[in-house]
Structure 1
Amino acid sequence: MATVTVGSAHVHYDIEGSGDGPALLLVHGTGSGGAVVNWGRTTPRFTAGRRVVTLDLSGADRTVDDGGALTVETLAAQVIAVIEDAGTGPVDLLGFSMGSPVSAAVAALRPDLVGRLVLVAGWAYTDGDEYMRNLFTLWQRLGEFDPAGFGRSVTMTGFSRGFLNAIGREGVEELIPNMPPTPGTLRHVALDLGVDVRGLLPRITAETLVVGAAQDATVPVENSRELHAAIAGSTYAEIDAGHVMFFEKEDEFVRTVKDFLGSAAA
Structure 2
Amino acid sequence: MTRPPAGPPPHHTLDGPDGAPPLVLGPSLGTELSVWDPQLAALKREFRVVRWDLPGHGGSPSVATTTVPALARGVLALADGLGIGRFSYAGISLGGAVGAWLAAHHPERIASLVLICSSARFGAPEAWHERAALVRESGLGPVADTAAGRWFTPGFAASPEATALLGTLRRRIAPAGYAACCDALAGYDLRGDLARITAPTLVVAGRTDPVTPPPHARELVDGIPGAGLLELPGAAHLANVERPAAVQAALLGHLAAPPDAPEALRVPAPHPSEGTAP
- Determine what percentage of the aligned residue pairs are the same residue: 26
Worse-matched range after superposition: 137-146 or 47-56: 137-146
> Counterpart in 1 of 2:83?
87
SS in structure 2 at match of 1:117: strand
The answer to whether structure 1 residue 14 and structure 2 residue 4 are counterparts is no
Q: What is the RMSD computed on CA atoms of the aligned residues? A: 2.5
Which one of 66, 73, 84 corresponds to residue 70 of structure 1?
66
How far apart are the structure 2 equivalents of 1:147 and 1:16? 31
| Residue correspondence of structure 1 range 144-155 to structure 2 within 5 A | 144-145=137-138, 147-155=140-148
Which one of 203, 206, 229 corresponds to residue 213 of structure 1?
206
Which one of 237, 257, 261 corresponds to residue 251 of structure 2?
257
| Residue correspondence of structure 1 range 170-189 to structure 2 within 5 A | 174-180=164-170, 182-189=175-182
Distance 1:206 1:147, change over 3 A: closer
Q: How many residues align?
A: 251
The answer to whether structure 1 residue 236 and structure 2 residue 229 are counterparts is yes
SS in structure 1 at match of 2:24: strand
SS in structure 2 at match of 1:108: helix
> Counterpart in 1 of 2:108?
112
Counterpart residue identity of residue 15, structure 1: L
Deviation at 1:238, TM superposition (A): 1.0
Q: Is this contact kept in 2: 1:108–1:203, CA < 8 A?
A: yes
Q: TM-score, normalised by structure 1?
A: 0.84
Distance 1:261 1:214, change over 3 A: same
Q: TM-score, normalised by structure 2?
A: 0.81
How far apart are the structure 1 equivalents of 2:40 and 2:56? 21
Deviations 1:154-208 (A, max 9, x none): 121111123226x3xx876554322136211121122222211123211111111
> Counterpart in 2 of 1:3?
none
Distance 1:163 1:89, change over 3 A: same
> Counterpart in 1 of 2:32?
34
**Structure 1 spans left out of the alignment, 5+ residues:** 1-5
> Counterpart in 1 of 2:241?
247
Deviation at 1:256, TM superposition (A): 1.1
SS in structure 2 at match of 1:116: strand
